[in-house]
Amino acid sequence: MYYHVKPYTISRNAADSVKPTLEDAQNVNIISVTDKPIVREVAIGQYFGLNVKLIEQSEEAHSDKMSWFEYLMKWDVNSLSNLGFVPLSLRSRKYVVRYDPSGTRAKSLTSTYLFQYAVKSSQNNVVYETGTSRPTNPTAANEVVSYKPIGAIFRPVLGRVFKNLESGNARLASAILTAKQKDGSLIQLSSRVGLSKDTRYTKDYIDWLVEYSTSKAGGADRKVNYAVCYTAVRKWNSPPNYGFIKDVLEMTEEDNIAIGPQCDYKVRFTATLSHDAEATKGAIISPSGQKCVKDMTNGFKYGSSSCAEARRLDHTYSNYELQAEHKNLTETSFQLARQYSAFNNLL
């Protein structure tokens, strides 16, 4: 595995970067090109009882025609000094991943992947069965249909992603990585996600859980050391397939993120997006919009590339509002969450 560093300009004024004035001291970060990108050894398997390390093995001169070509394309006057051309040295660092059995506590490592697809029907759905030409209606409203019985691991999440949908489809996936230790105890990293969307394509739902857990021999006394819980639901009114939007286009989204062993450190984000009349006007007066109007007047709208481009402009939300609420959040996590409000001000 190789790590390749390409040259770039740090500052337009090298003297100020090396010796910042008191006035600029807080605004200038001195970057040393001799610093290593990572420490020489990084343990990457200790959480699973594996003695696996990422080790920097060597550093050597590197010659790559493409790198020189990219550098010359970006070359400017800063590449010159008072003494003439600044010599450029491309360096590459070589890394290896090393496994050491002597320091490994794990006896075996196994992984499991599962996937299922399910459909929730309603009395308004029409079903065509194999071998028949006549459509039928479902025998019962809100019937869940799957090509195989829903696994126990997916039943709770399937209930949540289908809870607020009259009818639609869901995709369920799970991945589990288990490291069995020499004493019989288990270290496990599991991820399970459910995605659903209603039949009219005006609502979708995400339910995602990641857990890092430990347990004694045989899986007894399982303890969740850390977990991340995430849910998101979006609702929007469906825009027309062709032509320009006459009504206000709106979408609401609610995201819930929680961390901790019991997912009790929570942050909730609510976003409201809308498309107003000014945005529609901008889409119409754009070059593609004007061409689309002519195409629709001539009856050519289904295959018009101009209408497809104008529709993308017309379906873009122009107003955005974001709010955040937190519960039991630590000070460090709270400072991180506050970055969202800064991002919202920029928008």
Judgement on whether residues 224 and 110 belong to the same structural domain of the protein: yes
Q: Which residue has the higher pLDDT, 237 or 11?
A: 237
Judgement on whether residues 252 and 166 belong to the same structural domain of the protein: no
Cβ-contact 278, 338 below 8 angstroms: no
Judgement on whether residues 116 and 164 belong to the same structural domain of the protein: yes
Judgement on whether residues 99 and 111 belong to the same structural domain of the protein: no
Judgement on whether residues 268 and 203 belong to the same structural domain of the protein: no
What is the rounded CA–CA span in Å between residue 144 and residue 147?
10
Judgement on whether residues 207 and 261 belong to the same structural domain of the protein: no
Copy the structure tokens of residue 101: 């059995």
Judgement on whether residues 16 and 79 belong to the same structural domain of the protein: yes
- Burial of 130-160, coded b for 16+ CB within 10 Å and e otherwise, reads eeeeeeeebeeeeeeeeeeebeebbeebbee
Copy the structure tokens of residue 254: 């609610």
Q: In this predicted model, what pLDDT tens digit does every residue of 238-285 receive, in sequence order? A: 777 667 877 778 899 999 999 999 998 888 999 998 888 888 888 888
Residue 328 DSSP SS3: coil
- How many whole angstroms from its chain centre is CA 118? 24
Phi, psi values for residue 7, rounded to 5°: -70, 150
Q: In this predicted model, what pLDDT tens digit does every residue of 63-76 receive, in sequence order? A: 666 666 766 666 55
Judgement on whether residues 135 and 226 belong to the same structural domain of the protein: yes
Q: How many helices (H) and strands (E) does the chain have?
A: 7, 15
Is pTM beyond 0.75? Reply is no
Last residue of a domain, one of 230, 245, 269: 230
Of residues 110, 67, 117, the one with CA closest to residue 88: 67
Last residue of a domain, one of 192, 212, 230: 230
Judgement on whether residues 244 and 202 belong to the same structural domain of the protein: no
Of residues 268, 280, 344, the one with CA closest to residue 314: 280
For residue 62, what pLDDT is reported?
65
Q: In this predicted model, what pLDDT tens digit does every residue of 5-59 receive, in sequence order? A: 544 444 444 444 455 555 555 554 554 445 555 567 888 888 899 999 888 877 6
Judgement on whether residues 153 and 177 belong to the same structural domain of the protein: yes
For residue 21, what pLDDT is reported?
55
Judgement on whether residues 213 and 259 belong to the same structural domain of the protein: no
Judgement on whether residues 205 and 218 belong to the same structural domain of the protein: yes
Q: How many domains does the chain have?
A: 3
Last residue of a domain, one of 73, 103, 133: 103
Q: In this predicted model, what pLDDT tens digit does every residue of 74-114 receive, in sequence order? A: 655 555 444 444 455 666 777 888 888 888 999 999 999 99
Kindly indicate the confidence band of residue 132, based on its pLDDT and cuts at 50, 70 and 90: confident
Cβ-contact 175, 165 below 8 angstroms: no
Residue 271: give the domain boundaries: 237-347
